[in-house]
């Protein structure tokens, strides 16, 4: 069944090679950078992990690029623009000023300068080597330390303030490439093979599992070499997965995979969707992440059941959007709380795809789009590529809402698909998207459009089904669902897709299956696999599809 | 079509987990939940000239002139002072105006002692129309209700209807009420309205139940009140009201009875109507209507005199209300203590729970609510 | 509540425009300019040209917008009527095409790729847009190499790109842009006193420390990572330049005045076209002041993303969807609902030009000294075609562009307009673009 669909796709893909061919060609050329620019989420997480949550970050980050379905892979191909560095500079100075302000300085600067209005190299060095090791994910060499201490000293002398000097030096470290880019450095092991050095390995691990920098224990494992032994690696991975920071990694991975960065530019027309407030927009992302964390980490559930799980969390505003009751017995004037909520069996609003983080995220501001939802589902959940629409197409039938002949979106899209040129793409997106038409552009539940009952029959991989519940069940049984999340988790760890010559890859997939598709186990298995730490002599050849 | 609705019926049956589909007749009473989402004095200013032919009350300038004349200036002098002082009278004048009440021959603040201030004789409504209900046999003072064309009692409107700040057309509210509504909505608990009946999609007998909520209203993305949110009702019986009612052609009327709902100043202290009447157009998505009856005119006046900065001539209003009060004479003085009046209100769907968190009413209409009503409800502590 | 918000924005907007008007009224200190009014007398340095790109999404309508006659005094099509007051100061180019050379038409992208970067490549590469090329010639030594804004809240909607992969992040908040340009770091060029800021000096020398370690950083890296790091260092140089500029006493600029401060926006992402237009006008005012104050010489604006998601009040269908769905009116020859959006965008372009034109520099206005290059992603919007592009320029590049004309070039490369404009800005390129989009001669009718 999957095969026939792919044949359909291939026809489209050859017509529209634009994005389909791009990544494969790049990988084959083997000249993609290995370094990754820190994501906005990582930047924020690092500052919180290193300096605590009271340090605020003001400013906007550079746009990210999504490659092979993940920003974590796109992070390889992005550098920093003029405008970008100006913003990083602003953020860095803001962070540094807070770190050394009167309220925080004693927490981070563990020595007292000889005079508060002059340089003190010894004290500066102590601070810089401590913080620098965390920020750069490695110990600073003498040369680097010397430079940073000198910057602090010169600045302290000019500004007559020891702490201002530290601030200048810290701000400069926060815009340096060592901080903003994650480099992979190699070394030769005892057998003469090239391998990632311990620090680089520790970084891969910590950004994968925690979406942040290694902690002291992990850096020590890098420094003493134990990270290179299977036993040492396992000890670290087990420790990290059971750490409270693991939730951050899981959230970051799914935010990336589900395309949550697009929330930044999402808005709904309040005239038509008054219940879609700013709070609801924020809450809907949190709802999904809470559902996932609960399902994966607490319930140790099967990934496939995420699409049908009746268990979720709601706030009163979200409940109003979904039209479900959520009594909250807090005093008047108290903030709303998250409450666990369980849908009764058969409720179409159960499962991940019925949440506003999917149905509203992939809809224009004014009305729903089965095509956009179907495309997002193919690309984000099934790892299948949907070609972009061609130019010079006559869209005359599509959704001419004034035409009394075509009352529902299904009617209008059916008319549009009668055009041969459009049929190829739309038949792979629309049948799944139409099954979600019970959800309006903002995620609200409905059963009618323009007075006509919405037909939510759909088809995926040749299986016909009815409505969101039917879709979720078909997804549950589609092997592409589990293979997709595995590939994306690998990509999130490695910054590339698994390739055919990655010998360990089938074992990871098998282990995932044996764990009854528990994502935590999948991440553990990936973290323990050599394949994410291999050094590409050349970039991997054709990515495994 | 037939196929589709069949499928839908099947879907709903599955969802409901019981045999009660859309077309099946309900085996038990239906309870729809609403919250009051709009509330204000009922205005009627379609034709201001007809209401107030003298157009004498004017706005802030006229008020200031009247106040200045009250402290001894001639009309010409007063006009000149107003013109010279720009947007606001200077403290030099306001200080004197504000103590222009006399109690035992001593000057006292006018807003604390409006009864000790001279009546500025504001113009009152002489037009023909106002919203309301037929409450009494006093035929001389009646208005005609523009909707029902019945002759009705609304002396409150007669007293205040020529003031600038009451020249509001819904969804606008009289200016001071608009201000306090927007101030209070985010903190003061709201009111719920429940409709209980065998089949609310049809005409027939129903019960209207009003309660106070324990929570304030939530707003939606447009700044209006959010629909379909969940609220817990107060368990106290103080603001609990039940009315026998009937729906005819979608219009609900009640069997008259006293009404009491607690509120929070400065919006209203409370809504207390003697011999309350109601008329509400009911749809699953919205209720719009009028509540009328007799209310304490002094409470109404106090809403304005206690916040004199709202542009209304609160002293003029005080005296007008006092003069127009038309019920419940004080046995000693003969002064009426109640005045006939009408509020306009709107309500939108909501889930309503009792104080244990049990859902007792759901939004009306549509298959959505059928789904909603039959989903699992889990209440957190 | 909403009504109040609106009122505030309007008031701010009005205040802003009033601010510009004050600028007009300022006496131009002609003693500071030479006899022609085109150069500073003290240094003899010519008043520099300035450059703006201005993007709107989804073209102008099918074919009917093309005026019947070429050259001067042509009849403005209905979609362009808002630009009537500037007809003498603008040029309308029609007929230009982006050649795909076998690549697919990536809607809302490929056409812009051609017009702005001169090439059509299927890899999604978008770099070295014309504003960057122009900026390299005219933009050196200013505090900001360039400024970019997007009016609908999408920071990716603007089309300015350096040699890096990816477009520059655009500012979406006028409040934030104000803070960047006219915040505490702003040095009034006309202030009598100047003392370099110690804090800036410290930062400047700290930056040198990163640069010193460049070789060390490069050592272990492969070629691609080096390239990426090179791009980083290029950006770092721009930051150094910004600080250097702040450390030097600026050249006095009589036309410079600091605009009034702006309120923080309540919403970031916009859905209403009219809201985007209001935000655009705030940006335009800030741009005019920033250009007059020498803070930058190159600005870029996008009123919508290519796939414009903007709505008209009370209508749930967005502009982009309408381009696909709305039938072409048989009598009028265009899509009526789409034309509403097009007229609004053209009104915004008018307002942009007006903001520039209201600043007087010597005997010319700021607009006269610059070129506003207005472009779109598609020719016929309904078909999302890459033919018959409307391209509009406003301003005469310090007299190097003749204006007031309609220049029809059916079937010609649209890149020729870009090339001509770059030449008017002093960019010396023998040719520009690749494959069929490569051009080597400018449009002589307009180049003075």
Inter-chain touch C217–A177, beta carbons under 8 Å: yes
Cα dihedral A37, A40, A41, A44 in deg (nearest 10): 110
A295-315 per-position pLDDT tens digit: 999 999 999 999 999 999 999
Q: What are phi and psi of B213, to 5 degrees?
A: -90, 165
Is the residue at A363 inside a domain?
no
- Compare all CA atoms of chain A with the CA of C207 and give the residue at the minimum distance: A172
- Give the model's confidence band at B381: pLDDT under 50 very low, under 70 low, under 90 confident, else very high: very low
- Residue A345 at interface with chain B, using a CB cutoff of 8 Å: yes
What are the helix (H) ranges across C183-318?
A: 198-212, 214-219, 223-247, 273-292
B374: closest CA among A325, A470, A339? A325
- Residue B370 at interface with chain A, using a CB cutoff of 8 Å: no
| Neighboring chain C residues of A140 at a CB cutoff of 8 Å | none
Does the structure show a pLDDT above 70 at C43? no
C377-426 per-position pLDDT tens digit: 998 888 788 889 999 999 999 999 999 999 999 889 999 999 999 999 99
Probe site for chain C from B171, B223, B224, B226 (most C CB atoms < 10 A): B223
Total structural domains within chain A: 1
Residues 6 or more apart whose Cβ sits within 8 Å of residue C23: C255, C257, C288, C289, C292, C358, C359, C360
Cα dihedral C217, C221, C225, C229 in deg (nearest 10): 10
Radius of gyration (C-alpha) of chain C in whole angstroms: 22
What are the boundaries of each domain within chain B? 30-53+127-373, 57-120
- Residue B380 at interface with chain A, using a CB cutoff of 8 Å: yes
Residue C278 sits in a domain whose CATH number is 3.40.720.10
Is the residue at A276 inside a domain?
no
For residues A433 and A2, the model is more confident at: A433
Does the structure show a pLDDT above 50 at A40? yes
E strand intervals along chain B? 30-41, 101-103, 106-108, 143-144, 151-152, 189-197, 204-216, 230-232, 241-248, 251-254, 257-262, 270-282, 287-296, 327-329, 336-349, 351-353, 359-361
- Give the model's confidence band at A209: pLDDT under 50 very low, under 70 low, under 90 confident, else very high: very high
Inter-chain touch B11–A467, beta carbons under 8 Å: yes
pLDDT for A480 equals 94
Check residue B365 and give left, alpha or beta (phi > 0: left; psi -120 to 50: alpha): left
B126: closest CA among B153, B100, B159? B159
CA atoms within 13 A on the CB side of B252: 29
Does the structure show a pLDDT above 50 at A10? no
Does the structure show a pLDDT above 60 at A371? yes
- Compare all CA atoms of chain A with the CA of C323 and give the residue at the minimum distance: A395
- Residue A323 at interface with chain B, using a CB cutoff of 8 Å: yes
Same domain, C124 and C220: no
pLDDT for C2 equals 38
Does the structure show a pLDDT above 50 at B26? no
Does the structure show a pLDDT above 90 at C366? yes
Is the residue at A482 inside a domain?
no
Q: Is the dihedral of CA C11, C17, C22, C23 positive or negative?
A: positive
Same domain, C394 and C290: yes
Nearest by CB to residue B17, choosing from A324, A326, A344, is: A344
The Cα of B344 is separated from the nearest Cα of chain A by a number of Å equal to: 23
ipTM entry: 0.85
* pLDDT averaged over every residue in chain C: 85
The Cα of B143 is separated from the nearest Cα of chain C by a number of Å equal to: 34
Residue C86's alpha-carbon distances to A541, B12, B375, C89, C262, in angstroms, are 56, 62, 62, 5, 28
Same domain, C165 and C300: yes
A388-419 per-position pLDDT tens digit: 766 555 554 444 445 556 666 777 666 666 66
DSSP C353-369: HHHHHTSEETTEETTTT
Is A505:A531 a contact under the CB 8 Å cutoff? Answer: yes
Rounded to two decimals, the pTM is: 0.81
pLDDT for A418 equals 61
* pLDDT averaged over every residue in chain A: 85
- Residue C2 at interface with chain B, using a CB cutoff of 8 Å: yes
- Residue C223 at interface with chain B, using a CB cutoff of 8 Å: no
C342: closest CA among C384, C381, C285? C381
Does the structure show a pLDDT above 90 at B342? yes
pLDDT for C20 equals 36
- Residue C269 at interface with chain B, using a CB cutoff of 8 Å: no
- The whole domain housing C214 covers 195-248
Total structural domains within chain C: 2
- Compare all CA atoms of chain C with the CA of B219 and give the residue at the minimum distance: C1
Is the residue at A146 inside a domain?
yes
A387: closest CA among C108, C113, C378, C106? C106
Rounded distance between C-alpha atoms, residue C322 and residue C338, angstroms: 6
Is the residue at C448 inside a domain?
no
C179 alpha carbon, distance to own chain's centre: 20
C150: closest CA among C273, C270, C302? C302
DSSP C269-305: S--BHHHHHHHHHHHHHHHHHHHHTTS-SEEEEESS-
A319 alpha carbon, distance to own chain's centre: 25
Residues 6 or more apart whose Cβ sits within 8 Å of residue A506: none
The Cα of B186 is separated from the nearest Cα of chain C by a number of Å equal to: 13
The Cα of A512 is separated from the nearest Cα of chain C by a number of Å equal to: 33
Q: Which chains touch B (3 or more CB pairs under 8 A)?
A: A, C
- The whole domain housing A121 covers 37-182
Residues 6 or more apart whose Cβ sits within 8 Å of residue C357: C86, C89, C365, C366, C367, C368
Rounded distance between C-alpha atoms, residue C158 and residue A81, angstroms: 14
- Residue B220 at interface with chain A, using a CB cutoff of 8 Å: yes
C102-132 per-position pLDDT tens digit: 777 788 888 999 999 999 987 778 889 999 9
Same domain, C384 and C260: yes
Same domain, C91 and C47: yes
Q: Which helix (H) or strand (E) holds B70?
A: helix B60-70
- Residue B368 at interface with chain A, using a CB cutoff of 8 Å: yes
The Cα of B365 is separated from the nearest Cα of chain A by a number of Å equal to: 12
- Residue B349 at interface with chain A, using a CB cutoff of 8 Å: no
| Neighboring chain B residues of A443 at a CB cutoff of 8 Å | none
Is the residue at C442 inside a domain?
no
Same domain, C285 and C361: yes
Same domain, C277 and C216: no
* Burial profile A231-255: b = 16 or more Cβ within 10 angstroms, e = fewer: ebbeebbeebbeeebbbbbbbbbbb
- Residue C20 at interface with chain A, using a CB cutoff of 8 Å: no
pLDDT for A28 equals 34
Is B190:B215 a contact under the CB 8 Å cutoff? Answer: yes
Q: Which chains touch A (3 or more CB pairs under 8 A)?
A: B, C
Inter-chain touch C209–A172, beta carbons under 8 Å: yes
A45-68 per-position pLDDT tens digit: 999 999 999 999 987 788 888 999
- Give the model's confidence band at C85: pLDDT under 50 very low, under 70 low, under 90 confident, else very high: very high
Is B338:B20 a contact under the CB 8 Å cutoff? Answer: no
Probe site for chain C from A372, A387, A392, A442 (most C CB atoms < 10 A): A392
Same domain, C361 and C229: no
| Neighboring chain C residues of B223 at a CB cutoff of 8 Å | 1-2
Probe site for chain B from A327, A336, A343, A347 (most B CB atoms < 10 A): A327
Is the residue at A526 inside a domain?
no
B58-90 per-position pLDDT tens digit: 777 788 888 888 888 998 998 888 888 766 788
Q: Tell me the three state secondary structure of residue C78.
A: helix
User: Residue A427 has which token pair?
Assistant: 């038949």
- Residue C428 at interface with chain A, using a CB cutoff of 8 Å: no
Inter-chain touch C198–A159, beta carbons under 8 Å: yes
| Neighboring chain A residues of C156 at a CB cutoff of 8 Å | 63, 265
Q: Tell me the three state secondary structure of residue B251.
A: strand
- Residue B18 at interface with chain A, using a CB cutoff of 8 Å: no
A456-506 per-position pLDDT tens digit: 898 887 888 998 889 998 999 999 999 999 999 999 999 999 987 788 899
Is the residue at A215 inside a domain?
no
Is the residue at A382 inside a domain?
no
- Residue B2 at interface with chain A, using a CB cutoff of 8 Å: no
3-state secondary structure B198-239: CCCCCCEEEEEEEEEEEEECCECCCCCECCCCEEEECCCCCC
Q: Which chains touch C (3 or more CB pairs under 8 A)?
A: A, B
- Residue C213 at interface with chain A, using a CB cutoff of 8 Å: yes
Q: How do beta strands B270-282 and B287-296 pair?
A: antiparallel
Largest Cα–Cα separation, chain B: 86
| Neighboring chain A residues of C313 at a CB cutoff of 8 Å | 271
Does the structure show a pLDDT above 90 at B17? no
- Residue A324 at interface with chain B, using a CB cutoff of 8 Å: yes
C110: closest CA among A15, A18, A64? A18
- Residue C3 at interface with chain B, using a CB cutoff of 8 Å: no
Is A209:A527 a contact under the CB 8 Å cutoff? Answer: yes
Probe site for chain A from B22, B171, B188, B220 (most A CB atoms < 10 A): B220
For residues B290 and C382, the model is more confident at: B290
């Amino acid at each position: 069944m999957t095969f026939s669909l792919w044949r359909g796709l291939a026809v489209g893909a050859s017509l529209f090679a634009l994005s389909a061919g791009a990544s494969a060609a790049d990988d084959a050329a083997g000249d993609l950078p290995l370094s990754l620019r820190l994501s906005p989420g990582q930047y924020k997480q690092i500052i919180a992990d290193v300096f605590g949550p009271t340090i605020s970050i003001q400013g906007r980050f550079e746009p990210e690029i999504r490659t092979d379905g993940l920003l974590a892979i796109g992070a390889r191909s992005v550098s920093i623009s003029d405008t970008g560095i100006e913003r990083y500079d602003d953020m860095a100075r803001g962070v540094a000023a807070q770190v050394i302000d009167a309220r925080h300085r004693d927490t981070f600067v563990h020595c007292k300068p000889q005079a508060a209005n002059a340089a003190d190299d010894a004290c500066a060095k102590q601070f810089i080597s401590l913080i620098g090791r965390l920020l750069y994910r490695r110990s600073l060499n003498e040369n680097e330390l010397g430079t940073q201490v000198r910057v602090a000293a010169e600045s302290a002398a000019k500004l007559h303030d020891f702490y201002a000097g530290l601030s200048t030096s810290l701000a400069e470290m926060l815009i340096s490439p060592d901080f903003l880019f994650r480099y992979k450095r190699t070394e030769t092991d005892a057998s003469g093979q090239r391998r990632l050095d311990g620090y680089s390995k520790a970084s891969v691990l910590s950004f994968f599992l925690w979406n942040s920098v290694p902690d002291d224990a992990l850096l020590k494992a890098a420094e003493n070499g134990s990270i290179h032994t299977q036993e040492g690696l396992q000890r670290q991975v087990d420790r990290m997965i059971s750490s409270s920071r693991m939730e951050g990694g899981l959230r970051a991975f799914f935010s990336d995979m589900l395309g949550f960065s697009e929330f930044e530019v999402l808005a709904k027309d309040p005239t038509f969707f008054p219940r879609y407030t700013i709070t609801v927009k924020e809450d809907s992302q949190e709802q999904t992440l809470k559902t996932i964390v609960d399902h994966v980490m607490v319930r140790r559930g099967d990934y496939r059941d995420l699409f049908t799980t009746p268990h979720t969390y709601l706030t009163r505003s979200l409940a109003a959007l979904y039209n479900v009751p959520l009594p909250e017995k807090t005093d008047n004037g108290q903030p709303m709380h998250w409450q666990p909520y369980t849908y009764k069996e058969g409720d179409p609003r159960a499962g991940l795809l019925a949440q506003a983080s999917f149905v509203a995220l992939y809809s224009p501001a004014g009305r729903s789009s089965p095509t956009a939802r179907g495309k997002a589902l193919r690309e984000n959940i099934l790892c299948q590529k949907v070609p972009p629409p061609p130019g010079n197409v006559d869209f005359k039938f599509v959704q001419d809402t004034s035409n009394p002949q075509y009352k529902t979106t299904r009617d209008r899209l059916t008319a549009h698909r009668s055009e041969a040129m459009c049929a190829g793409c739309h038949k792979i997106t629309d049948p799944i998207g139409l099954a979600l038409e019970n959800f309006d552009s903002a995620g609200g539940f409905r059963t009618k459009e323009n007075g006509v009952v919405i037909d939510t029959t759909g088809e995926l991989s040749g299986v016909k089904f009815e409505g969101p519940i039917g879709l979720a069940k078909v997804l549950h049984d589609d092997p592409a669902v589990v293979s997709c999340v595995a590939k994306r988790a690998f990509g999130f760890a490695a910054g590339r897709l698994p390739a055919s010559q990655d010998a360990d890859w089938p074992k990871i997939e098998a282990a995932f299956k044996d764990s009854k598709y528990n994502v935590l186990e999948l991440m553990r298995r990936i973290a323990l696999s050599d394949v994410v730490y291999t050094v590409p002599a050349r970039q991997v050849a054709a990515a495994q599809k | 079509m037939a196929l589709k609705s069949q499928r839908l019926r099947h879907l709903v049956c599955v969802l409901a987990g019981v045999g009660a589909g859309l077309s099946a007749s309900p085996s038990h009473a239906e309870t729809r939940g609403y919250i009051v989402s709009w509330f204000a004095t009922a205005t009627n200013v379609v034709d201001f000239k007809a209401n107030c032919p003298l157009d004498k009350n004017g706005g802030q300038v006229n008020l200031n002139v009247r106040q200045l004349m009250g402290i001894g200036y001639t009309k010409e002098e007063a006009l000149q002072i107003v013109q010279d002082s720009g947007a606001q009278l200077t403290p030099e004048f306001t200080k004197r105006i504000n103590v222009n009440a006399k109690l035992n021959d001593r000057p006292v603040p006018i807003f604390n002692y409006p009864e000790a201030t001279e009546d500025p004789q504001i113009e009152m409504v002489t037009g023909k129309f106002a919203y309301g209900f037929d409450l009494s046999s006093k035929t001389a003072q009646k208005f005609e209700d523009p909707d029902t064309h019945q002759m009705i009692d609304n002396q409150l409107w007669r007293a205040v209807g020529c003031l600038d700040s009451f020249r509001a057309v819904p969804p606008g509210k009289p200016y001071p009420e608009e201000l306090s509504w927007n101030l209070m909505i985010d903190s003061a608990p709201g009111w719920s309205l429940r409709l209980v009946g065998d089949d609310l999609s049809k005409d027939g007998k129903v019960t209207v139940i009003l309660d106070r909520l324990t929570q304030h209203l939530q707003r939606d993305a447009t700044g209006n009140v959010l629909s379909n949110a969940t609220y817990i009702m107060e368990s106290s019986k103080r603001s609990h009201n039940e009315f026998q009612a009937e729906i005819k052609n979608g219009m609900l009327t009640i069997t008259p009875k006293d009404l009491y709902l607690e509120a929070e100043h400065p919006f209203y202290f409370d809504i207390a109507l003697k011999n309350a009447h109601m008329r509400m157009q009911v749809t699953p998505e919205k209720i719009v209507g009028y509540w009328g009856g007799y209310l304490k005119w002094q409470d109404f006046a106090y809403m304005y005199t206690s916040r004199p900065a709202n542009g209304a001539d609160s002293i003029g209003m005080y005296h007008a209300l006092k003069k127009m009060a038309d019920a419940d004479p004080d046995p000693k003085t003969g002064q009426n203590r109640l005045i006939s009046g009408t509020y306009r209100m709107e309500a939108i769907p909501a889930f309503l729970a009792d104080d244990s968190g049990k859902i007792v009413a759901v939004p009306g209409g549509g298959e959505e609510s059928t789904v909603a009503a039959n989903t699992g409800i889990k209440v957190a502590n | 509540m909403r009504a109040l918000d609106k009122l505030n924005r309007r008031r701010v907007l009005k205040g802003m425009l009033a601010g510009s008007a004050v600028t007009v009224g300022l006496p131009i200190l002609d003693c500071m300019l030479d006899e022609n009014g085109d150069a500073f007398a003290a240094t003899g340095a010519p008043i520099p040209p300035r450059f703006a790109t201005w993007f709107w999404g989804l073209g102008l309508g099918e074919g009917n917008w093309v005026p019947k006659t070429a050259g001067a005094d042509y009849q403005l099509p209905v979609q362009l009527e808002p630009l009537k007051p500037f007809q003498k100061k603008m040029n309308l180019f029609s007929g230009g095409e982006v050649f795909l050379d076998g690549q697919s038409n990536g809607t809302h992208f490929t056409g812009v790729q051609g017009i702005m970067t001169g090439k059509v490549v299927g890899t999604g590469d978008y770099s070295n847009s014309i504003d960057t090329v122009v900026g390299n010639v005219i933009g050196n030594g200013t505090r900001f190499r360039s400024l970019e804004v997007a009016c609908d809240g999408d920071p990716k909607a603007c089309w300015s790109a350096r040699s890096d992969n990816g477009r520059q992040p655009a500012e979406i908040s006028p409040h934030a842009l104000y803070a960047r340009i006219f915040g505490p770091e702003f040095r009034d060029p006309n202030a009598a006193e100047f003392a370099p800021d110690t804090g800036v000096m410290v930062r400047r020398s700290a930056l040198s420390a990163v640069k010193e370690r460049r070789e060390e950083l490069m050592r272990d890296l492969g070629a691609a990572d080096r390239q990426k790091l090179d791009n980083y260092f290029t950006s770092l140089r721009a930051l150094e330049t910004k600080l250097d500029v702040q450390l030097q006493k600026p050249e006095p600029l009589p036309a410079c005045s600091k605009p009034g401060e702006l309120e923080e926006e309540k919403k970031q992402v916009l859905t209403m076209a009219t809201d985007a237009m209001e935000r655009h006008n705030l940006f335009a005012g800030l741009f005019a002041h920033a250009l007059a104050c020498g803070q930058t010489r190159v600005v870029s604006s996008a009123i919508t993303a290519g796939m414009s998601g903007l709505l008209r009040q009370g209508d749930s269908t967005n502009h982009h969807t309408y381009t696909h769905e709305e039938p072409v009116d048989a009598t009028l020859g265009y899509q009526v609902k789409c034309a509403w959006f097009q007229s609004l965008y053209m009104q915004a372009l008018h307002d942009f030009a007006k903001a520039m034109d209201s600043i007087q520099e010597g005997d010319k206005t700021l607009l006269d000294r610059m070129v506003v290059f207005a472009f779109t992603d598609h020719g016929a919007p309904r078909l999302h075609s890459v033919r018959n592009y409307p391209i509009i320029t406003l301003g005469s590049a310090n007299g190097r562009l003749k204006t007031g004309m309609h220049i029809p070039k059916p079937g010609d490369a649209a890149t020729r307009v870009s090339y001509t404009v770059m030449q008017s800005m002093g960019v010396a390129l023998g040719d520009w673009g690749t494959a069929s989009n490569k051009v080597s001669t400018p449009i002589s009718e307009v180049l003075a």
